[in-house]
Amino acid sequence: MEKERLLISKRIVRVEYDFRNTTNETVVSEVAFPIPPFKYVFDDMSRDFADFKAWIDDKPIKVQKEVRGLVKGRDVTEELLKARISIETFGGYDVSTATDQITALKPDMRKRLVNLGIVKEHKQKGKVIEYSPSWEVSIKYHWQQEFPPGKVVHIKHEYVPVAGYTQVQLQGFKKRITDSCIDATTFNEVKNRVAKAMRKQPLGNNYLSAGWVSYILTTANTWQTPIRDFEMIVQAEKDEVASLCWDGPLEKVGESKLRARKQDFVPKKDIKAYFFNF
């Protein structure tokens, strides 16, 4: 891989690669791009990744999609398919209705899924009042790609990520958000933003919102390493502060952008970019 350009934001993830076949023969290989697994989130179940797009040398291509269900890393796809439950849509589960595929299961099948940790029972006064999905959705996009000898092939893909979300009080920030690697300068900026928000709303309670986007950076290691020229942009919204763990310098560009550059780069861990707003 000669070049990788990565953009991470809550609105879009975009990646561009330049691959060069260094052999004297045409190579045909599968290109695979995994989406970080995600769990059911009650207010964001419209995401089915139909918006994943890919281009080869700026020409759009069709890609294949593989969807699997996981419970603590264990593949439970076959169990969900036997139960005729849609993995990607979490069986149509919705906290506001009782007409989903899990509820419609026969009791013995549902009990089996509960015992396997795929479905969770919710009890009240010893009585089961609801069942909810406990599996994660794992999606992989892939296609067969031809790499002519000596030629650079430019691959680009983009999608709207499933962003995580939580609220946290400033006083408990460092205990709750332990994997943002926020530095002292950025944390002071967070404190100043919270204080400013409190002045506007004196009855507030020092809460801030934390969103995050994960990205599987180590997929690049399935190709010949190192990446000769790597650049990553983490783009926050205008009123947000961004932070992430990164083994190397992070350049702040303006008020809402972080940039990292590396030469001859071998990824050793995946990315989790945080976006804080107030």
Q: Is 238 left (phi over 0), alpha (psi -120 to 50) or beta?
A: alpha
The pLDDT of residue 162 is 83
Mean pLDDT computed over 119-145: 94
Q: How confident is the model at residue 203 (pLDDT cuts 50, 70, 90)?
A: low
| 17 contacts 154 by C-beta, under 8 angstroms | yes
Helix (H) or strand (E) holding 122: strand 119-124
* Model confidence at 48: pLDDT above 60: no
* Model confidence at 205: pLDDT above 80: no
The DSSP symbol for 240 reads -
Instruction: Quote the percentage of the chain above a pLDDT of 70.
Output: 96
Rounded Cα distance, 137 and 93, in Å: 14
Lowest-confidence range among 21-25, 44-48, 89-93, 243-247?
Answer: 44-48
For 56-119, the DSSP string reads ETTEEE--EEEEEEEETTEE-HHHHHHTT--TTTGGG--TT-S-STTTTS-HHHHHHHHHTTSE
Spatial CB neighbours of 1, under 8 Å, sequence gap ≥ 6: 17, 18, 19, 220, 223, 224, 225, 227, 228
Q: How confident is the model at residue 44 (pLDDT cuts 50, 70, 90)?
A: very low
Mean pLDDT computed over 170-189: 91
The DSSP bridge pattern shows strands 227-235 and 3-8 to be parallel
| 63 contacts 142 by C-beta, under 8 angstroms | yes
* Model confidence at 95: pLDDT above 80: no
* Residue pLDDT, tens place only, 130-139: 999 999 999 9
Q: Rounded mean pLDDT of the chain?
A: 91
The pLDDT of residue 204 is 61
* Model confidence at 50: pLDDT above 80: no
Give the tokens for residue 243.
Answer: 């932070």
Helix (H) or strand (E) holding 197: helix 184-200
Work out whether the CA dihedral 14, 56, 262, 139 comes out positive or negative: positive
| 254 contacts 173 by C-beta, under 8 angstroms | no
For 214, the 3-state DSSP assignment is strand
Direct distance between the N- and C-terminal alpha carbons of the chain, in angstroms, rounded to an integer: 40
Model pTM score: 0.86
Spatial CB neighbours of 54, under 8 Å, sequence gap ≥ 6: 33, 60, 61, 63, 141, 143, 155, 156, 157
Q: How confident is the model at residue 34 (pLDDT cuts 50, 70, 90)?
A: very high
* Model confidence at 46: pLDDT above 50: no
* Model confidence at 45: pLDDT above 60: no
* Residue pLDDT, tens place only, 52-87: 999 999 999 999 999 999 999 999 999 999 999 999
> Does a cis peptide bond (omega within 30 degrees of 0) precede residue 36?
no
* Residue pLDDT, tens place only, 250-274: 999 988 899 999 999 999 999 999 9
- Across the chain, how many H-helices and E-strands are there? 4, 18
